[in-house]
């Protein structure tokens, strides 16, 4: 029965990982950019939420009202100020710049907040759970996170395929020059894409901060989880990313059941296995 | 004195100033100079053909006008305004539109979405989805299909429709017959009067010399980045054109 | 008057000949360091040599082969742990273990490369990071090597390097010096050779190189395995000096990747001279900012970002463009030679 419980918890964990991955996938889809600082931005959002709850005394989830617009603004400024300059045929500049950004963010957060573990208290809903079967409880918080992940992915799909903005994203990512001929300003479109991605990052950060503890150094780990979810699920497929996150979460939990020290390793091994036999992922839609 | 006489003068009175002109336009691709000082102009309501061999600089000229290539401010002018250094997305709002070489539809967009995005600049005018479907009914049947799953000729129709959706003042057609079967090319050129019949200006880049001369008021021949011949299409002799085209 | 003219290829430049002479002089001085330098200076020099080795190797991978790895710490740590394991469990003399770990790492790199070469670009980079994480987590499970908290090198093994401490320090120093000479020589001659020459082509234009028959995949594969081996040897030397190893130290992203990347980027990526300049700048700055700790990383990161955006070829790129010099010349120039033996520079 513990195994079934491990799997159930793993599925719910997959929702959080899908949240980590969705922003990454969005940016790669629109501008073929992989933001190495993605995980650190998630952590930054968590710290931002922490500061807001501590100064305003509001519930962590309520901080989203502030964290989301702030992160969106940061995303737009970051893209237009720095990242737009790195886009082009050479893969080195965006990689190296975002890597530099990652180091700067981690150490900046370290300077400001110290290396202490932090966690936000969401009150009663953190301990509430729904008994589903004998010895299987579904935590309300993880369920909410899973639900948010589904809502986010559905929302992003809606934006991409049913709105003018989404049309602009797809057109610009297809062919920058011709998109410009339609009157679309690439720099602005990419800025909006990054802003949207950081909205998702804001959600990921706040829910990370409520679900587990965090400190300035956990960024790269979140990046890797997001990345693994994307690769397992298949490039260019947001719902695939959800499946990828679930597979990752389940692998980790099964590994932890066997031996607590094997949790992370089990996840990585799952990823490597998929990479070995299905290099393009389980449900790929675009080329990497 | 237009040989073709298709224009509705009431809609677009002829003025003396060019709608679009280039002055001493120079263009480089890295170390390679593609244009050596092109003087070119289009009057309102005029159809100008640009002919020349491969590599003569025709597409470079088009891309420069549209703002896809960087230029000196004064080297491209629209309605008396310097636009040489304007970015392409800004120029689009002036009503300058391209039907690009090779169609270049957006693969991620359906046929209808390609048309809709053509209307992004939301300029006023007669062209909208209904009008485009009226012009090219076959597109209406395939409106939700992926644009790249259409045949070559249908894709060209989408590309033209996409350009029309912005209600441009001037359309630049970059080699619309490239890669299409002759019968399809005939169909498209047959639709040309309806497309540019409302007083729109047009630049038609073509490798088919006789067709280009037939549909245009004036013609301009490029050879290795320079204007080698220019004049009223009906008055240009075949010999003169061949000489200018091949540079012999 | 018609003159029959011949052409020949020349690779050395005047600057490179001068630099070669200066280099030999410096090398002799460095070999003699145990006689004129203090303990602290020798340690610092060793550190410089080892960082420069890592930088030159990372540069070969990223700047020439276009394989950006943020996971080279995998092999640094593998080399370190390899040395400890060989010495502690198999009685291999530490100095012999240094080249041996290169072979071990090269063999390990084979299946790793097969896996991660399925990814490209930035995804490849993160893939290398995952591999490093797998190594870190793996070694943390090995209790005989101290598990998560690591282990120290037993005194007996330490003493087997040399009897006296000053002799041990000299040996460590000479090993580090030998390492950097080896690495620079390997990198330089590899790039000049039949194997490595395609790299400069791949870096400049991969599609064109492919169309000329260059086997991209195999060339990159060879470079990856080669760098893995040499990086592991450097790692072995690093931890031989530290005398203590732990998973977090062995596989530290900051120490073995972040600093190295910043060194190469600031110095000049894709050139052999770049990492040399970058390492010198890095240690100079570290001297000034020693007390700042995390702030030093932030400053480095900012400088690196500015360099990438403003002068992507780094400090050396700026210098070599301005003064048109190459100290490690790779390009071949054509010189026109008259039969009357008057040389005239055609470039």
A153 pLDDT more than 90: yes
In percent, the amount of chain A with pLDDT more than 90 equals: 78
CB contact under 8 A, A276 and C115: yes
Question: Any idea which of A163-172, B105-114, C318-327 has the lowest mean pLDDT?
Answer: C318-327
Q: How far apart are CA A164 and CA A162, in angstroms?
A: 7
Any idea what the Cα angle at residue A27 is, between residues A101 and A72, rounded to 5°?
70
SS3 of B160-201: HHHHHCCCCCEEEEECCCCCCCHHHHHHHHHHHHHHHCCCCE
Q: How far apart are CA A178 and CA B100, in angstroms?
A: 8
CB contact under 8 A, A185 and B87: yes
Any idea what the Cα angle at residue B47 is, between residues B44 and B52, rounded to 5°?
130
Q: How far apart are CA B66 and CA B62, in angstroms?
A: 6
* Chain C residue numbers touching A227 (CB-CB < 8 A): 123, 126, 130
Q: How far apart are CA B110 and CA B141, in angstroms?
A: 12
Query: Chains B/C: 3 or more C-beta pairs closer than 8 A?
Result: no
pLDDT given for residue C345 in this prediction: 39
Q: Give C232-278 pLDDT, tens digit per residue.
A: 999 999 999 999 999 999 999 988 999 999 999 999 988 888 999 99
Q: Which of B22-31, B121-130, C228-237 has the highest mean pLDDT?
A: C228-237
Structure tokens at C53: 């080795």
Q: What are phi and psi of B156, to 5 degrees?
A: -65, -35
Residue pair C78/C101 in contact by the 8 Å Cβ criterion: yes
Compute the average pLDDT of residues B107-125: 93
Tell me whether A287 touches chain B (CB under 8 Å).
no
Tell me whether A61 touches chain C (CB under 8 Å).
no
Residue pair B241/B233 in contact by the 8 Å Cβ criterion: no
Q: How far apart are CA A265 and CA A270, in angstroms?
A: 9
Residue C273 covered by a domain? yes
* Average pLDDT score, chain A: 92
Chain A nearest C-alpha distance from B106 (Å): 6
What stretches of B52-187 adopt beta strand conformation (E)?
76-78, 81-82, 96-99, 170-174
* Nearest residue of A to residue C118, measured between CA atoms: A279
Q: Give C93-126 pLDDT, tens digit per residue.
A: 999 999 999 999 999 999 999 999 999 888 899 9
CB contact under 8 A, A182 and B121: yes
* Nearest residue of C to residue A38, measured between CA atoms: C126
Tell me whether B100 touches chain A (CB under 8 Å).
yes
pLDDT given for residue C334 in this prediction: 66
Residue pair A83/C291 in contact by the 8 Å Cβ criterion: no
pLDDT given for residue B16 in this prediction: 74
Query: Chains A/C: 3 or more C-beta pairs closer than 8 A?
Result: yes
pLDDT given for residue C343 in this prediction: 39
- Using CA atoms, how far residue A57 sits from A42, A51, A61, A194, B18, in Å, is 21, 9, 12, 29, 66
pLDDT given for residue C213 in this prediction: 66
* Average pLDDT score, chain B: 87
Dihedral angle of Cα A237, A20, A223, A78, to the nearest 10 degrees: 90
CB contact under 8 A, C126 and A224: yes
C186 CB contacts (<8 Å, ≥6 apart)? C226, C230
Structure tokens at A13: 């964990």
* Chain C residue numbers touching A109 (CB-CB < 8 A): none
* C230 closest CA partner among C65, C58, C63: C58
- Could you tell me the residue range of the domain that residue C325 belongs to? 6-345
Residue C201 covered by a domain? yes
Confidence bin at A276 (pLDDT 50/70/90): very high
Confidence bin at A219 (pLDDT 50/70/90): very high
Which of A167, A175, A185 has its CB closest to that of B89?
A185
Any idea what the Cα angle at residue B86 is, between residues A186 and B80, rounded to 5°?
145
Residue pair C259/C162 in contact by the 8 Å Cβ criterion: no
Residue pair A226/A39 in contact by the 8 Å Cβ criterion: yes
Tell me whether A286 touches chain C (CB under 8 Å).
no
Of chain A residues 226-245, which have a CB less than 8 A from chain C? Answer: 227-228, 231
Give the ipTM. 0.89
Tell me whether B66 touches chain A (CB under 8 Å).
yes
- Using CA atoms, how far residue B28 sits from A34, A175, B69, B173, in Å, is 32, 22, 9, 22
Residue A33 covered by a domain? yes
B115 pLDDT more than 90: yes
Residue A158 covered by a domain? yes
CB contact under 8 A, A183 and B121: yes
* Average pLDDT score, chain C: 85
Residue pair B169/B187 in contact by the 8 Å Cβ criterion: no
Higher pLDDT, C68 or A2: C68
* Nearest residue of A to residue C308, measured between CA atoms: A93
pLDDT given for residue A267 in this prediction: 95
- Could you tell me the residue range of the domain that residue A27 belongs to? 18-214
Question: Any idea which of A23-27, B231-235, C216-220, C255-259 has the lowest mean pLDDT?
Answer: C216-220
Q: Which residues of chain C have pLDDT under 70?
A: 1-11, 201-207, 209-210, 212-214, 290, 326, 329-347
pLDDT given for residue A11 in this prediction: 94
CB contact under 8 A, A223 and C133: no
SS3 of chain A: CHHHHHHHHHHHHHHHHHHHHHHHHHHHHHHCCCCCCHHHHHHHHHHHHHHHHHHHCCCHHHHHHHHHHHHHHHHHHHHHHCHHHHCCCCCHHHHHHHHHHHHHHHHHHHHHHCCCCECCCCHHHHCCEEEEECCEEEEHHHHHHHHHHHHHHHHHHHHHHHCHHHHHHHHHHHCHHHHHHCCCCHHHHHHHHHHHHHHHHHHHHHHHHHHCCECHHHHHHHHHHHHHHHHHHCCCCHHHHHHHHHHHHHHHHHHHHHCHHHHHHHHHHHHHHHHHHCCCCCCCCCCC
Structure tokens at A157: 């799909």
* Nearest residue of C to residue A259, measured between CA atoms: C141
- Using CA atoms, how far residue C147 sits from A261, C156, C250, in Å, is 11, 21, 12
* Chain A residue numbers touching B146 (CB-CB < 8 A): none
Residue A111 covered by a domain? yes
CB contact under 8 A, B113 and A173: no
Tell me whether A275 touches chain C (CB under 8 Å).
yes
B89 dihedral zone (left: phi>0; alpha: psi -120 to 50; beta): alpha
Domains of chain B are: 20-103+168-246 (3.40.50.300)
Compute the average pLDDT of residues B34-63: 90
Please give the tally of structural domains in chain A.
1
Among C136, C305, C306, C307, most A C-beta atoms within 10 A, so best to mutate, is C305
Higher pLDDT, A24 or C288: A24
Burial C264-276 (b: 16+ CB within 10 A, else e): bbbbbbbbbbbbb
CB contact under 8 A, A182 and B98: no
pLDDT given for residue A287 in this prediction: 55
CB contact under 8 A, C133 and A94: no
Residue C1 covered by a domain? no
| pTM for the whole structure | 0.88
Of chain A residues 144-183, which have a CB less than 8 A from chain B? Answer: 164, 167-168, 170-171, 173-175, 177-183
Tell me whether A268 touches chain C (CB under 8 Å).
yes
pLDDT given for residue A143 in this prediction: 92
Neighbours of B (≥3 Cβ pairs closer than 8 A)? A
For residue C158, the SS3 value is helix
Residue C299 covered by a domain? yes
> CATH number for the domain including C45?
1.10.3470
Q: How far apart are CA C290 and CA C301, in angstroms?
A: 16
Please give the tally of structural domains in chain C.
1
Tell me whether A129 touches chain B (CB under 8 Å).
no
Q: Give A185-196 pLDDT, tens digit per residue.
A: 999 999 999 999
Residue pair C120/A288 in contact by the 8 Å Cβ criterion: yes
């Amino acid at each position: 029965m513990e195994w079934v419980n491990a799997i159930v918890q793993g599925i719910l964990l997959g929702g959080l990982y899908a949240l980590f991955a969705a922003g990454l996938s969005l940016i790669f889809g629109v501008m073929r950019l992989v933001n190495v600082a993605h995980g650190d931005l998630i952590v930054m959002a968590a710290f931002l939420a922490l500061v807001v709850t501590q100064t305003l005394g509001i519930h962590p989830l309520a901080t989203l009202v502030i964290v989301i617009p702030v992160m969106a603004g940061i995303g737009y400024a970051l893209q237009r100020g720095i990242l737009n300059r790195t886009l082009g045929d050479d893969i080195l500049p965006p990689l190296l710049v975002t890597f530099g950004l990652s180091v700067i963010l981690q150490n900046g957060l370290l300077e400001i907040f110290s290396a202490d573990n932090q966690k936000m208290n969401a009150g009663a809903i953190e301990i509430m759970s729904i008994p589903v079967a004998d010895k299987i409880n579904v935590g309300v918080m993880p369920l909410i996170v899973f639900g948010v992940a589904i809502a986010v992915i559905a929302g992003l799909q809606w934006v991409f395929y049913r709105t003018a903005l989404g049309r602009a994203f797809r057109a610009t990512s297809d062919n920058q020059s011709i998109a410009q001929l339609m009157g679309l300003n690439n720099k602005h479109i990419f800025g909006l894409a990054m802003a949207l991605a950081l909205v998702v990052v804001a959600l990921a950060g706040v829910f990370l901060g409520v679900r587990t503890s965090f400190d300035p150094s956990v960024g790269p780990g979140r990046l890797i989880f997001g990345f693994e979810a994307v690769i397992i699920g298949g490039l260019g497929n947001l719902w695939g990313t959800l499946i990828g996150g679930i597979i990752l979460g389940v692998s980790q939990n099964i590994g932890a059941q066997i031996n607590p020290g094997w949790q992370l390793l089990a996840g990585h091994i799952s990823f490597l296995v998929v990479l070995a036999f299905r290099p393009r992922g389980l449900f790929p839609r675009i080329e990497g | 004195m237009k040989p073709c006489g298709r224009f509705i003068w009431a809609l677009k009175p002829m003025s003396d100033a060019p709608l679009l002109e280039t002055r001493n336009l120079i263009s480089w691709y890295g170390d390679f100079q593609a244009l050596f000082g092109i003087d070119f102009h289009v009057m309102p309501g005029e159809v100008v053909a640009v002919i020349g061999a491969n590599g003569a600089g025709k597409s470079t000229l088009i891309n420069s006008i549209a703002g896809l290539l960087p230029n000196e401010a004064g080297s491209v002018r629209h309605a008396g305004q310097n636009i040489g250094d304007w970015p392409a997305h800004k120029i689009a709002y002036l009503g300058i539109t391209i039907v690009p070489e090779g169609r270049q539809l957006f693969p991620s967009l359906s046929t209808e979405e390609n048309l809709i995005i053509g209307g992004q600049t939301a300029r006023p005018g007669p062209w909208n989805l209904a009008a485009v479907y009226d012009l090219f009914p076959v597109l209406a049947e395939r409106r939700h299909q992926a644009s790249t799953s259409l045949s070559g000729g249908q894709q060209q129709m989408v590309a033209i429709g996409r350009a029309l959706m912005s209600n441009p003042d001037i359309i630049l057609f970059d080699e619309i017959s490239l890669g299409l079967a002759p019968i399809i090319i005939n169909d498209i050129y047959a639709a040309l009067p309806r497309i540019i019949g409302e007083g729109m200006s047009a630049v038609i880049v073509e490798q088919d010399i006789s067709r280009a001369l037939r549909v245009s008021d004036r013609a301009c021949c490029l050879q290795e980045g320079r204007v080698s011949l220019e004049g009223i299409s009906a008055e240009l002799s075949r010999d003169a054109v061949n000489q200018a085209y091949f540079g012999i | 008057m018609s003159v029959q003219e011949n052409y020949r290829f020349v690779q050395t430049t005047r600057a490179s000949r001068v630099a070669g002479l200066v280099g030999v002089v410096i090398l002799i001085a460095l070999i003699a360091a145990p006689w004129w330098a203090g303990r602290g200076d020798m340690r610092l020099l060793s550190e410089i040599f080892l960082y420069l080795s890592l930088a030159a190797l990372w540069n070969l991978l990223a700047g020439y082969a276009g394989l950006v790895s943020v996971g080279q710490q995998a092999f640094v740590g593998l080399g370190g742990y390899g040395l400890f394991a060989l010495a502690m469990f198999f009685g291999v003399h530490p100095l012999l273990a240094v080249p041996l770990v290169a072979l071990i790492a090269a063999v390990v790199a084979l299946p790793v490369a097969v896996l991660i070469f399925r990814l490209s670009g930035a995804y490849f980079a993160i893939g290398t990071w995952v591999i490093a994480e797998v190594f870190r987590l793996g070694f943390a499970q090995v209790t005989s090597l101290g598990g998560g908290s690591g282990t120290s090198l037993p005194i007996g093994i330490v003493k087997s390097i040399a009897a006296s401490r000053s002799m041990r320090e000299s040996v460590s120093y000479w090993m580090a010096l030998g390492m950097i000479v080896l690495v620079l020589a390997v990198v330089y001659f590899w790039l000049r050779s039949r194997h490595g020459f395609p790299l400069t082509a791949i870096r400049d234009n991969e599609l064109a190189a492919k169309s000329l028959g260059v086997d991209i995949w195999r060339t990159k594969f060879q470079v990856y395995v080669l760098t893995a081996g040499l990086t592991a040897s450097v790692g072995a030397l690093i931890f031989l000096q530290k005398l203590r190893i732990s998973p977090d130290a062995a596989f530290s992203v900051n120490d073995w990747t972040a600093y190295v990347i910043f060194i190469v980027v600031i110095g000049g990526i894709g050139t052999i001279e770049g990492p040399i300049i970058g390492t010198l700048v890095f240690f100079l700055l570290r001297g000034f900012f020693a007390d700042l700790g995390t702030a030093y990383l932030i400053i480095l990161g900012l400088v690196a970002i500015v360099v990438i955006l403003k002068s992507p070829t780094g400090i050396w790129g700026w210098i070599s463009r301005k003064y048109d010099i190459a100290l490690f010349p790779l390009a071949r120039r054509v010189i026109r030679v008259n039969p009357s033996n008057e040389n005239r520079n055609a470039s």
